[in-house]
Amino acid sequence: MLNASLKQLSALLADGKVSSVELTQTFLDRIEQLNPSLNAFITVDREKSLAQAKTADELRAKGGACPLTGIPVAQKDIFCAQGWLTTCGSKMLHNFVSPYDAHVIEQFNRAGAVNLGKTNMDEFAMGSSNETSYHGKVKNPWNQETVPGGSSGGSAAAVAARLAPAATGTDTGGSIRQPAALTGITGLKPTYGVVSRYGMIAFASSLDQGGPMAKSAEDCALLLNAMAGFDSRDSTSLEREKEDYARDLAQPLQGLKIGLPKEFFAEGLSADVAQRVEEAIAEYRKLGAETVEVSLPNSKLAIPVYYVLAPAEASSNLSRFDGVRYGHRAPEYTDLLDMYCKTRAQGFGSEVKRRIMIGTYVLSHGYYDAYYLQAQKLRRLIAQDFVEAFKHCDVIMGPTAPSTAFKIGEKSDDPVSMYLSDIYTIAVNLAGLPGMSVPCGFGGNGLPVGLQIIGNYFSEAKMLNVAHQYQQATDWHTRMPEGI
């Protein structure tokens, strides 16, 4: 049952071979057993989860079930869920119990899914290793001395260790795809605006996007069917007709054109990752796809552009955390200004403070034009590169991350080295494109390698088809960490 797909679990529930209460209990017991060492979950509420499971069983008994009814799904702790502790991995929100549901949570509730708990994450989604969380580091189930990636590292570790059949994540600069790659699971970042950001605690509003994390592309398609949808409360939510993201999964890949950016296979990519990615592309050729070389000349500017724009938006978004309305408040202060200063000094971790300072600097008088405005112009050029590339191909492929998972603490004192972990993913967010990572083998150290698939706007169904056909021909996505 631990390795069953969501489709298989749904069939078991429909046939009455297992109840949602039994299924949820199985995963809750597994969390209780393994989470103390992995630290993938921040909050688990057995009573709430089992009550939802019981309701799902009753719904199935009445014949009103959806494909996800009764399926336990772990939720990244960035999504507000009514009555649940929602901390965003920060001391600032360590005691915040959300009074409402995020749109994504509402969508899962409507589908009858069970909230299995809230997963650990880098503080306010700022990080690439899940080491900045106030609740402690998450460990990679494949090797607990290594990181699971970030910021959705808790969700990735939970799925990889089979603590949950599926989970949600958010991707601002690669935070679904990079941890998916480092833990050997499948993760998808949809086109910007496809999944509502309402109730998703903001980091960088023009970049943040929620998405699914699961064992396979087929599972991600079922999850995205539930997550996607217009929401009038989010001004960036796109009003589009509902679509079935699983509709094209069985389509053959004959004639598919895969673009290979020369910039993705240059200096900085480790040899073992390059080899696994090339082997995956060779498998696609066997499946009938063609490859063409494309160029993304401005992709080398993605990291400096991102680390101007994202901190600028973060400095604005995080200004609301001042100790007045909710969350942490400094216990001792002399006046209002002192309360603000001490609350924010105590409530935020070092990485969040670093980004707030950078963001405030680039938005300040005298630097706005030199940094922020220039970065916005370069962002447009990066997006235009993709427009040109997609004139010659259907999807773009390359590595998700430049290396396999690195050791815990290895890059903690070197922010620039840490930021380079997202070198292949950030441009996708800047352009607002959909992208995903699928497992494609293991590096020389036995740790998972991810293949990144980038699609044109609103081509999630095509990307999922491309990923699914590869997963039908390989078994990398079914591998489990030893001893887990």
Beta strand pairing call for 72-76 and 114-119: parallel
Peptide bond preceding 151 in cis form (omega within 30 of 0): yes
Q: Is 146 helix (H, G, I), strand (E, B) or coil?
A: strand
Query: How buried is 294 (Cβ within 10 angstroms: 0-12 exposed, 13-18 middle, 19+ buried)?
Result: buried
Name the catalytic one among 10, 98, 129, 151: 151
* CB proximity list for 362: less than 8 A, separation 6 or greater: 308, 311, 312, 368, 371, 372, 375
Name the catalytic one among 152, 175, 437, 459: 175
Give the whole-angstrom CA distance, residue 468 versus residue 211: 17
Active site (annotated) includes residue 151 = yes
Name the catalytic one among 5, 10, 49, 76: 76
Determine what percent of the chain falls in helix, strand and coil, rounding each to the nearest 5.
45, 15, 45
Residue with tokens 């494909």: 67
Q: Is 442 helix (H, G, I), strand (E, B) or coil?
A: strand
Active site (annotated) includes residue 189 = no
Residue with tokens 């604005």: 316
Strands (E), 364-418: 395-399
Give the whole-angstrom CA distance, residue 94 versus residue 134: 8
Active site (annotated) includes residue 76 = yes
CB of 460 closer than 8 Å to CB of 245: yes
Q: How many helices (H) and strands (E) does the chain have?
A: 15, 11
Q: Is 5 helix (H, G, I), strand (E, B) or coil?
A: coil
Q: Among 187, 273, 256, which residue's Cα sits nearest to residue 227?
A: 187
List residues with catalytic annotation.
Answer: 76, 151, 175
